[in-house]
Structure 1
Amino acid sequence: MSAEASSSSFITVEQKLATAKQKKETADQAFKLGNVKDALRSYHEALMYLLGLDKNALASMGMAPQPPSSTDAKDGKAKEKTEVDEIVEKIYANMSACHLKNENWKRAVEAADKALAKNENNTKALFRKGKALGELGFYEKAVKVLEDLKTKSPGEAASVDAELARLKAIDDERERAHRKKLKGFLSKDKAKTAFIEEIP
């Protein structure tokens, strides 16, 4: 590859990165203003620019992956993170917040999981995943995620405890409604059985 062609491809990578950052900033502002639909669109557009960026091209531009911290190392395998990885992580965590606002719990969990794939210690993504799981009715899973968050970030304990209490109340109400429905169903079944037994 000629130096000229090489240089133009680096400019393209730089332009993609700059455009992605600008789209993320636009999305962040839209979210702050309560315009979730525009925020999601801009986050998605930012991802379109970021997800195709080649790590080797970034390294040639002086954006080499950062050395992993001791907390990133798991089972002796260390993850190298680039600036792109960090931006993608933040975008997915923010998209999870957007989906929570829209009460689209399943998508909130999916976006949080994508952020956590980049950084399993992302406290915002953990909190949003726990909240969404609870709303979906997966109370035990939600508790596990939120308790994990408390362990990883003790400073979040008050927020986590409040969310756990809220989810417990929702779960208790669901359980009461389920028992009431089941009781009604069993009562109808008994009445039906009694009626059948009365027939000569």
Structure 2
Amino acid sequence: MIVHYRAWTESTQHKFEDTWHEQRPFEMVLGKEKKEMAGLAVGVSSMKAGERALLHVGWELGYGKEGSFSFPNVPPMADIIYEVELIGFDEVREGKARGDMTAEERIGAADRRKMDGNSLFKDEKLEEAMQQYEMAIAYLGDDFMFQLFGKYRDMALAVKNPCHLNMAACLIKLKRHEEAIAQCTIVLAEDENNAKALFRRGKARAELGQTDAAREDFLKARKHAPEDKAITRELRLLDEHDKAIYKKQKEIYKGIFGPPPRPKPKPANLLTRMWQWLTLICQWLLSLIYRLFKRERRKAD
């Protein structure tokens, strides 16, 4: 069976293994597991494909009284918590254990899993498709790939890399963008000029708002696939996004640093209004006196 799991000690909450983070599915053969994984095997044996569970394993069925001071580092008598997902079973389908397969047989089995995943992907069954891709990748684990060279390594990568890229496509659709980036990065570690890996990583980064990193990926992808219209479209969308951000910032800064508004005239208080009325009355009285004086003077003349 193929599983993903995270493991940490219950008392110290020290995480000592995470196959999800490492993008490395783990193969477990029931009855042949390592002694320290006996508790994990017991828990997984009752699970169904695709199921996730949180398992509590006592130290007796874990790393025991002595613990482990190499890798992984587990204290003595440490109870362990496993977060585990059973990806699927593979004992019956191929008719023999992986350890008994030739390199061609393992690559062929992985390719069949990849094709099954592609069919599920076309039907929009994304979780089921990813299970098949992970099963395929499990056939082509690091230990196996390390032993390959020449045409066999090329054959294996021709199956393994598309599985990672197809998983990235599923994860983007499921909006699990960080995981999609990790899948693309695995491919780019083998093939730094892979346009499809650069494009999908750029798309995931753009969705996370990492626009500078996304543009860098898209520009590299366009360099190796200049006719790809999807890459051109994504670069245009990034430019439009940047223009919209610049326009918005310009409006904000204009409001902050623009000319100050004219102060509104304050309404006069009571004392001011009385003074204004008194001034008007005085002016009227002076004007009246002046007219009377002029009339009397005319009479005298």
The TM tier, using the shorter chain, reads 0.5 to 0.7
Q: Equivalent residue for 1:48?
A: 138
Q: Equivalent residue for 1:3?
A: none
Q: Equivalent residue for 2:127?
A: 37
Between the aligned partners of 1:159 and 1:35, the Cα distance in structure 2 is 24
Between the aligned partners of 1:46 and 1:171, the Cα distance in structure 2 is 40
Q: Equivalent residue for 1:155?
A: 227
The amino acid of 1:155's aligned partner reads E
Q: Which moved more, 1:172-181 or 1:97-106?
A: 172-181
Shift of 1:155: 1.5
The amino acid of 1:20's aligned partner reads A
Shift of 1:86: 2.1
1:21 alignment partner, one of 101, 108, 111:
111
2:238 alignment partner, one of 154, 161, 167:
167
Task: Say if 2:117 and 2:128, in contact at 8 Å, map to a contact too.
Answer: yes
SS in 1 for 2:193: coil
Task: Say if 1:139 and 1:168, in contact at 8 Å, map to a contact too.
Answer: no
SS in 1 for 2:144: coil
The amino acid of 1:86's aligned partner reads A
Shift of 1:31: 0.5
Q: Equivalent residue for 2:156?
A: 84
Structure 1: gaps (5+ residues): 1-7, 59-63, 67-79, 187-200
Q: 1:161 to 1:53 in 2, by over 3 A?
A: same
Q: Equivalent residue for 1:132?
A: 204
Between the aligned partners of 2:126 and 2:171, the Cα distance in structure 1 is 8
Q: Which has the higher strand share?
A: 2
Q: Name segments (4+ residues, structure 1) moved above 3 Å.
A: 8-15, 167-181
Q: Equivalent residue for 2:291?
A: none
Task: Say if 1:137 and 1:171, in contact at 8 Å, map to a contact too.
Answer: no
Between the aligned partners of 1:87 and 1:19, the Cα distance in structure 2 is 10
TM-score by length of 1: 0.66
Task: Say if 1:89 and 1:119, in contact at 8 Å, map to a contact too.
Answer: no
Give the paired residue count: 158
Shift of 1:39: 0.7
Q: Which has the higher helix share?
A: 1
SS in 2 for 1:155: coil
Between the aligned partners of 1:11 and 1:31, the Cα distance in structure 2 is 28
Between the aligned partners of 1:102 and 1:171, the Cα distance in structure 2 is 25
Q: 1:136 to 1:81 in 2, by over 3 A?
A: same
Q: Equivalent residue for 2:194?
A: 122
The amino acid of 1:39's aligned partner reads A
Structure 2: gaps (5+ residues): 1-97, 257-301
Shift of 1:161: 1.9
Shift of 1:167: 3.2
Task: Say if 1:127 and 1:145, in contact at 8 Å, map to a contact too.
Answer: yes
Between the aligned partners of 1:20 and 1:42, the Cα distance in structure 2 is 9
Shift of 1:176: 7.6
TM-score by length of 2: 0.46
Task: Say if 1:106 and 1:132, in contact at 8 Å, map to a contact too.
Answer: yes
Task: Say if 1:105 and 1:132, in contact at 8 Å, map to a contact too.
Answer: yes
1:145 aligns with 2:234: no
